[in-house]
A and B are shown apart, each in its own frame.
Chain A
Amino acid sequence: MFIIGELINGMYANIASALKERNKKIVQDCAREQVAAGADALDLSCGTASKNPLLDMPWLVETVQEVTDKPLCLDSSKPKVIEEGLKAAKNKTIINSTTADREKLEILVPLAKKYNSKLIGITISSKGIPQNKDQRLELAAQILDYVNEAGFAVSDLYLDPIVMPVNVAQDQMKDILEAIAEFKMLCEPAPQTIIGLSNISQGAKHRSLINRTFLTMAVASGLDSAILDPKDKELMDTLIAAELILNKNIYCDSFLDAYRKK
């Protein structure tokens, strides 16, 4: 499982104030802690409150790559903000994200090619959020079509079925899990699959329990990558056990330690 740490996000108070005061230490500590906890990459988002995302994003990129060479996942709905991040990046990058809308794809796919970046394609469009599996597959196919046409490697594309909060869209959970499995069958080589995990428990009680239960089910459906809180140790332990049960790692009594030594 490719784990992207979600904690450097301007919607969290500590990061918001770090952005405001240009306090590198807060951001760098957060980066180090997530990597130590098992993150393979780090999501960077200025948050909606950022007044100056065009300056904040490259600052985040520069600040974080002073302490890690892990890939950076540039998280913004504004292509210009992403491009400022790409310009500043020395580390590998992942663009987070394009929708299935043609006008978005037309900007972000060439940008990903130009900067040799991976790309997350999220199955929503200007028409709104899909309500079932078939709509998700249709939007995924649109993204894949465009990407193929543009000559972008499908293996560098992550498809996100868009996870809805369980207390908002309980009837969609099964569809989301099935979509993860079916995305992999849309073409050969298959695209990668990804979810933003924490959304599943937005506004709910027992968030960590809901997160780790859904993640287990998603892993069993073939999920390749997730944006999550790697400092949630129970979540990480559950993920390691789930991958063990799927025979992705060889069992030993200290399998949790063994995974973390990898």
Chain B
Amino acid sequence: METPLVLEKWPGVISTVTIGATAQEGGTRSHSLKIGGQSSMPLLFKEGANPNKPKLAFEVWDVAPSDFDEEVIKAFGKEINDPLVWAEICVNKFKAELLCLKMQGTHPDFGNKSPEEAAKFVSAFLSKVKVPLIITGSGDDSKDNLVMPACSEAAKKERCLVGSAVQDNYKTLTASVLADGHSIIAESPIDINIAKQLNILISDMGLPLERIVIDPTIGALGYGLEYAYSIMERARLAALSGDKTLASPFICFVGQEAWRAKEAKTNPEQGIMWETLTASNLIQSGADVLVMRHPKAFTNVSNYIEELFNLGS
């Protein structure tokens, strides 16, 4: 006798966030992407809707990468030193549908580019590269508060995903994102209470919950992956039970974490596997966007997603 599947029925649904605006939508992107929208735990296709596949984004910088692993740099070649060419390789050669532009060059310790220079770069980037865009600051709060409003304005109407808002520094970015029609990344330090609180603080400023993507902060395989996994799982369970303040898609910065692991640096193949495995585990805990570094890991995970969704449908 066949054992019947036990299927949960959930009252809640994860919000759907669109990244990128085409000409018809007032922007200049070649296409737009949807993330989220699940009404079941990740990949339980029989239990509820899983309408959007997880999306992969290549991480690119506004300057030549300074702390990237040799192996990643080798995969792109010396063209990686020109950010616009680097981005074009991601799109044309490795078929990226989404890019994550980190404004690292604005960091006081990594070039200290001015907000005006940053805005000019974003404009040039948008005219050269047509895929939807995620734009993040350099991580220096006070500099980001000067740079990101300029970048947000330069990308007005392109419906980017812009980050990152944190609990102690969210107001400036939220105001910009609201004014320029983007969505926001809300970053919390592997802490579900802060993730929830930050979503409320941002939505209290008038940005709808449906325009927030949570960065739960992740650790790579062997470096706290299971903590991130369980936080994401708990947030999803709460969201599906009806808690709208946690019903946001997740973005996970996989590449930067995976390549920091000493095991990833041991040999080239192991680094690629480290990034691949970290990403594929996070997909199972509900990751909606994964920001990747190595093209081979990108391809591996891309194939894995196709396989999962072919089996599910």
Contacts and interface: CB of A to CB of B under 8 A. Distances in A.
Interface of A: 249-254, 257-258, 261-262
A250 B244 contact: no
A261 to B, nearest CB: 6
Interface in B234-279: 234-235, 238, 242-246
Contact of A249 (B194, B200, B201, B238): B238
B119 to A, nearest CB: 34
A258 B197 CA distance: 8
B192 interface: yes
Given A258-B200, A261-B245, A251 B238 contact: no
B210 to A, nearest CB: 12
Contact of A250 (B201, B203, B204, B243): B243
A254 B200 contact: yes
Contacts of B204: 257
B200 A250 contact: no
Interface in B184-199: 192-194, 196-197
Classify the interface of chain A: helix, strand, loop or mixed: loop
B243 A249 contact: yes
Nearest to A254: B200
A252 B193 contact: yes
A250 B196 contact: yes
Interface of B: 192-194, 196-197, 200-201, 203-204, 209, 234-235, 238, 242-246
A143 B204 CA distance: 47
Contacts of B246: 250
Nearest to B12: A262
A262 B197 contact: no
A262 B193 CA distance: 16
A252 B243 CA distance: 12
Nearest to B237: A250
Contacts of A251: 193, 196
Residue from B192, B200, B209 having most chain A Cβ neighbours under 10 A: B200
Nearest to A253: B197
Nearest to A250: B238
- Going nearest first, the 10 A-B pairs with the smallest beta carbon separation are A252-B196, A252-B197, A254-B200, A258-B245, A250-B238, A252-B193, A253-B197, A251-B193, A258-B200, A261-B245
B193 A261 contact: no
A257 B203 CA distance: 11
Contacts of B235: 250
18 contacts: A250-B193, A250-B235, A250-B243, A250-B246, A251-B193, A252-B193, A252-B196, A252-B197, A252-B200, A252-B245, A253-B193, A258-B196, A258-B200, A261-B200, A261-B203, A261-B209, A262-B242, A262-B244
Contact of A262 (B203, B234, B243): B243
Contacts of A254: 197, 200-201
B238 A261 contact: no
A97 B259 CA distance: 65
Contacts of B196: 250-252, 258
Nearest to A249: B243
B197 A250 contact: no
Residue of A251, A252, A261 most packed against chain B (CB within 10 A)? A252
